[in-house]
């Protein structure tokens, strides 16, 4: 099993950028598909972005973040990052890093068995 710790959240203005980092422990990090999810108050947790295991050739994004967010992974340092550009107030949420022992997640939270504690992102208008 892999454990994750997220960092990089904060309070920004609309149009700003943030980079979230998820640091994972465990020697088999490359064997996990990774994902970012988010949850705003009173809403369900929703998929944001995912990346396949290994070299991360496959990536997928929620339609609302396509063209603005980029997910990447570094298997040497056991990290996965989410670069968020042109942030909008509706991006405000707690962002969670998640790991799945599969090749590539299709955005379903049930596929991800390990979760971080989350990092808060607040985007003011």
pLDDT in tens, 103-117: 998 889 999 999 999
Average pLDDT estimate for 28-57: 96
32 or 26: which leads in pLDDT: 32
List the beta strands (DSSP E) in 10-118: 10-13, 18-25, 33-39, 46-51, 59-61, 69-74, 79-84, 93-100, 114-115
Quote the CA–CA distance of 38 and 18 in Å, as a whole number.
Answer: 14
Question: Would you state the pLDDT for residue 36?
Answer: 98
């Amino acid at each position: 099993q892999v454990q994750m710790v997220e960092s990089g959240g904060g309070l920004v203005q609309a149009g700003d950028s943030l980079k979230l980092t998820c640091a994972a422990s465990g020697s088999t990090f490359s064997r996990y598909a990774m994902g970012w999810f988010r949850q705003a108050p009173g809403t369900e947790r929703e998929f944001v972005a995912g990346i396949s295991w290994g070299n991360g050739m496959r990536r997928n994004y929620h339609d609302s973040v396509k063209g603005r967010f980029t997910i990447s992974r570094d298997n040497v340092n056991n990290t996965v990052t989410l670069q968020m550009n042109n942030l909008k107030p509706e991006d405000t949420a707690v962002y969670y890093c998640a790991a799945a022992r599969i090749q590539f997640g299709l955005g379903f939270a049930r596929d991800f068995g390990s979760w971080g504690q989350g990092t808060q992102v607040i985007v003011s208008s």
